[in-house]
Structure 1
């Protein structure tokens, strides 16, 4: 008997449907001929809590830290015991086994840890599925690989899990205990990704609060040229008072020049006109989609992830959504026209977009060299019926389809003009943009472009017909939103100060992963460290206090982004997990030595009243974790003593229809 273990029931059903023969439902499994397909419910196992290694760890004490297991253990999740028994019984009868976890690092860990925990000693095949439609699943079943090929991916995922346990358990206990000594009642959760993300928001809030607007002044002039009129802006020289962005801080020089400008004549001294061609934006990765959907539809990052999971699992309209790739396999190009036309036949919007396509084009988005374990989000070809979807589902599907359809449109062609004028020995500049071939552009915006400059000839005379000064104020940084915070996590090198690390992190995956960024934001909201205000994300007083009390290195992104780099080298078999974990332990001991109740007390005092207050959830328990009554306090203390000590490790849950499945809280 062959046993296939899928990551979740929806994937198991798709596999069973693609197998030849009649499917019979069994307890926790599907039987198709001589093949049984069963499933996990997200992670069936979780790292054992500290007291599983030593009962004295039930009591939180600073002198216990760091807690480092000599031999790592996994324990069944409370609601997973029934499914584990199903898998154990099936493995006893199986003579061959297929691992069908999702095609990513966590998917590799999720199924393989169960296989090892249940003691299977035989060979294991690997089934990689990124599209739940029957033809795609059938192709994947015909292309099984040896699971040993993915052992480095498993090692990386396991190293990540253990590192997160060590970091979260020890630092959360340390700062919770120092917080109690300083008068804070509640768990202070520290995570190797969630805390730097909180640090980004807290520092942005402080920059906004401390910002002092400064006036600056912009002098413009309307010019007459042979072919018409245009507006140009004065470029004050360095001998004038300028800020670091070249803005004029004193009005007097502008006033002096303005008085001389009416009727003044000059010449066009430099003209740069270039024709540019621009390809369509690439198909989406999950994070890129979350950024766009937040800007266009005000969807939260978690909402986008949940919608994508529904489109993938329940409706089978899109390919695997938790992808960090923006390219598609070259083999998909030939059939993409038929696939998209079939998908869009029932929707007027998609039909309009498809009318402008040329499927003989060879778009840059189809590039095998840039496709890894999974490819960009794309329609599966299943007909899209918007009336059967919720409005958010239809909106997200159209965004995904649009970015793939746009690959088969002509390039956007523009004429970019930069003109520099000399008037009264001063420099004025103007620039314009003319669209020559709209190409894919109308699929993305209906806004009118700024008018192009009139035809210009270098050296031609110009005359000033009007001029004035616009008085402006510098503006503070914008508060983070879901879109800008996801983008910051994607491009974390911008927020790194050390030049060598900044160079190293440029062009890497950034902070967190595609699968975890939305969860990280929601975790910080639920724990009362962040709140949403009018679409913006702001740090609470508790969030600010935690950031101030922690060592600076624990609140900045360098460490965790470099973790991701190390994990990638492990996943690519370029490094063993041991040195990575040894380095982590050295860092951990250094951080623990900095736990100080005095610093925490000072942080709590300085941040009291700083930041908005999180709303209380319906249960009456504040999001900060502070119990609402004496009875609740006692219950909370008992619960904290019996658990692992860090809610960083509690995992994440995502809605799958009426069933909840859980994967461990990767990178939270």
Structure 2
């Protein structure tokens, strides 16, 4: 009797498939088997690309003579530590009684690559292979994925993109790291002292290093500029509010060179002169020139993709993107949330139709059960497919990260941080079914003589989604968060008494001035990246835009993928090119990192360019979509590697680099060299 084989990416996922299939099979060494099916697993990657010396022993020694290294056919090998599991999987894939293979690795490019390498090394032939593509690990979703599994050939373009991504990282990493080390490794090592180290570069990691170093140098070069604003204190029915002077058309200072901007002076004396001029008339009064009142709706934010979740968790919990991914992956494997490695921030039309199931399941979640019940009573979920929160065109592989409404029993066994991450996902999800927050805005222009003063107020009238969007563990109330987060520019909150008085104002009213004063300020340097804003910058090809609406307008690919960004940052910390403050999550370069930046900047500057790196990622997307062929991409890649490797071979910037190293080193403490104890007697032999 023939059987079906289900192959998952991890043992825990295989367990969920076995449960969903209700196979009642026996546990064997490396797999489970019943009368109808066999379930097995990889342990992440089982197969990897071979090092150059496996092609020819001559490549073991790093030499310019053997560069560039561009193999015609790539070699692969089983990873030694998982050889046993590979042999088990290989045996199952080729067992005569297995006629259909269901590929159940993670539904994405990397999951596709993991299985394809195993099948390639195992020599799978003459088997029906079907791809299971799921968005969560609930029993219902697993069974749907199996039922609707497509022939694996439908994913050949995705697999091609996965192979190319690996080849690209491999060829750039090996060729550029070797050629830069051979040319400039001694320069870096001699300057730093200590043990000789190879220069490590990569398609994405070097670009990220460049973003951090450039930002740090912008901060160092920044010169603070003081400025002085003239403010009026205006009396109104026992209350008072401020007006800010601006040199608009009609002002005696309109487009004057003494201004810093239209609302401030470069010198304090000029601000004092204006106050003196305006104070000539007594009593000091102003006339209401213009009053504008309007209501403003603030819609709930879009749902979480991985980058947005990593950014929020960095701010809320001061955890790294790598930690966030680990937590949300665990939530996914415990059936609590949908697939985490997604770039989409919306729902698909198909899932929107069934979304009441997710909401219903959350009614028994203590932290937000009432909010979920409220959504069901409102009935707003019925129209969610017609809103901006559902858009099939914005989804490539998976929709946004949302709670499944299942698996709540597993929450007690999770860490406090993991429980809070889950609550954050739940509240963002439920928010989209609630009405917008409503604000009353009042804008006021008053005049003293011919000079205009501007006041702006924003008051929260109706909390809307803010009522349920704030986490239970947050210190502020929903209303406070709304006021704090929504107040933009110079808009300020005001109490009910002042709002009532403002509502009565009309053009031509004359108000008393309590006094005129000066507010001193100074320009601020650019902010350093933190682990969350860095992920967003990578998502948007280096454009640090934290506002979600602006981000959605940025078209093009990011640096790396949702699945790889956290790992890239982690590697840069591990090789000590970047430093992470674990308390604040702020990222800064190390001296070594700055030196590597200078080496690359002098030799392969293109590697530091976010747009170039993003264009390679876009190319992989084109391969996955079938817009360009694998060979077209590979030809372009080989040309790039060959040209840039030759460029470094022909370069000689050792002496020029010294001045760059010196310029960076002044901002770092020189490492103290360990004292060497003098030997008490002559050693028997020379040290090796």
State the TM-score, normalizing by the size of structure 1: 0.85
Q: How does 1:74-85 map to 2 (within 5 A)?
A: 74-85=76-87
Question: What's 1:43 paired with?
Answer: 45
Determine if the alignment matches structure 1 residue 64 to structure 2 residue 66. yes
What SS class does the counterpart of residue 402 from structure 2 fall into? coil
Determine if the alignment matches structure 1 residue 382 to structure 2 residue 406. yes
Q: Distance in 1 between matches of 2:404 and 2:352?
A: 13
Q: How does 1:179-258 map to 2 (within 5 A)?
A: 179-182=184-187, 184=189, 185-224=196-235, 229-236=240-247, 237-243=254-260, 247-258=264-275
Determine if the alignment matches structure 1 residue 149 to structure 2 residue 206. no
Shift of 1:62: 2.1
What SS class does the counterpart of residue 570 from structure 1 fall into? helix
CA contact (8 A) 1:223 1:462 kept: yes
Q: Distance in 1 between matches of 2:50 and 2:532?
A: 35
Determine if the alignment matches structure 1 residue 461 to structure 2 residue 479. no
Q: Distance in 1 between matches of 2:18 and 2:652?
A: 56
Q: How does 1:255-654 map to 2 (within 5 A)?
A: 255-262=272-279, 263-313=283-333, 315-347=334-366, 349-357=367-375, 358=377, 360-361=379-380, 362-363=383-384, 364=387, 365-385=389-409, 386-445=411-470, 446=477, 448=480, 449=483, 450-452=492-494, 454-455=502-503, 456-494=505-543, 506-533=554-581, 534-535=583-584, 536-551=586-601, 552-592=605-645, 593-594=647-648, 596=652, 598=654, 599-608=656-665, 610-611=667-668
Shift of 1:556: 2.4
Q: Distance in 2 between matches of 1:247 and 1:175?
A: 50
Question: 1:586-639 CA distances to partner (integer Å, 9 max, x unpaired)?
Answer: 333343313545144444444335447999xxxx9xxxxxxxxxxxx99xxxxx
Shift of 1:352: 4.1
CA contact (8 A) 1:538 1:611 kept: no
Higher mean C-alpha deviation, range 583-592 or range 274-283: 583-592
Q: Distance in 2 between matches of 1:4 and 1:134?
A: 15
Q: Distance in 1 between matches of 2:661 and 2:66?
A: 25
CA contact (8 A) 2:361 2:404 kept: no
Q: 1:433 to 1:183 in 2, by over 3 A?
A: closer
Unmatched runs of 5 consecutive residues or more in structure 1: 497-501, 621-632, 635-668
Question: 1:217-273 CA distances to partner (integer Å, 9 max, x unpaired)?
Answer: 122112245896431111133214345796532222211122244544343334443
Q: Distance in 2 between matches of 1:53 and 1:246?
A: 68
CA contact (8 A) 2:360 2:373 kept: no
CA contact (8 A) 1:220 1:469 kept: yes
1:16 to 15, 18, 33: 18
Q: Distance in 1 between matches of 2:260 and 2:179?
A: 44
Question: What's 1:106 paired with?
Answer: 110
2:5 to 3, 9, 24: 3
Shift of 1:36: 1.2
Q: Distance in 2 between matches of 1:137 and 1:605?
A: 58
What SS class does the counterpart of residue 567 from structure 2 fall into? helix
CA contact (8 A) 2:211 2:542 kept: no
What SS class does the counterpart of residue 480 from structure 1 fall into? coil
Shift of 1:521: 1.3
Question: What's 2:487 paired with?
Answer: none
Q: How does 1:20-39 map to 2 (within 5 A)?
A: 20-39=22-41
Unmatched runs of 5 consecutive residues or more in structure 2: 190-195, 248-253, 471-476, 484-491, 675-686
CA contact (8 A) 2:607 2:613 kept: no
Shift of 1:190: 0.3
Q: Distance in 2 between matches of 1:522 and 1:458?
A: 59
Q: 1:166 to 1:210 in 2, by over 3 A?
A: same
Q: Distance in 2 between matches of 1:192 and 1:247?
A: 45
Shift of 1:132: 1.1
Q: 1:614 to 1:280 in 2, by over 3 A?
A: farther
Shift of 1:518: 1.3
Shift of 1:44: 1.2
Q: Distance in 2 between matches of 1:244 and 1:150?
A: 56
Shift of 1:435: 2.1
Q: 1:506 to 1:338 in 2, by over 3 A?
A: closer
Q: 1:244 to 1:444 in 2, by over 3 A?
A: farther
Shift of 1:528: 0.5
Q: 1:158 to 1:383 in 2, by over 3 A?
A: closer
Q: Distance in 1 between matches of 2:197 and 2:287?
A: 70
CA contact (8 A) 1:479 1:538 kept: yes
State the TM-score, normalizing by the size of structure 2: 0.83
Higher mean C-alpha deviation, range 324-333 or range 605-614: 605-614
Higher relative contact order (CA 8 A, sep 6+): 1
Question: 1:425-482 CA distances to partner (integer Å, 9 max, x unpaired)?
Answer: 2222221112232101133452532424522434443442222111122222222211
What SS class does the counterpart of residue 417 from structure 1 fall into? strand
What SS class does the counterpart of residue 94 from structure 2 fall into? helix
Shift of 1:577: 2.3
Question: 1:142-165 CA distances to partner (integer Å, 9 max, x unpaired)?
Answer: 111121111111111111111111
What SS class does the counterpart of residue 182 from structure 1 fall into? helix
Shift of 1:135: 1.6
Q: Distance in 2 between matches of 1:415 and 1:504?
A: 27
Q: Distance in 1 between matches of 2:163 and 2:539?
A: 23
What SS class does the counterpart of residue 442 from structure 1 fall into? helix
Pair member with larger Rg: 2
Higher mean C-alpha deviation, range 393-402 or range 119-128: 119-128
Q: Distance in 1 between matches of 2:262 and 2:544?
A: 19
Q: 1:531 to 1:493 in 2, by over 3 A?
A: closer
What SS class does the counterpart of residue 466 from structure 1 fall into? strand
Q: 1:246 to 1:572 in 2, by over 3 A?
A: farther
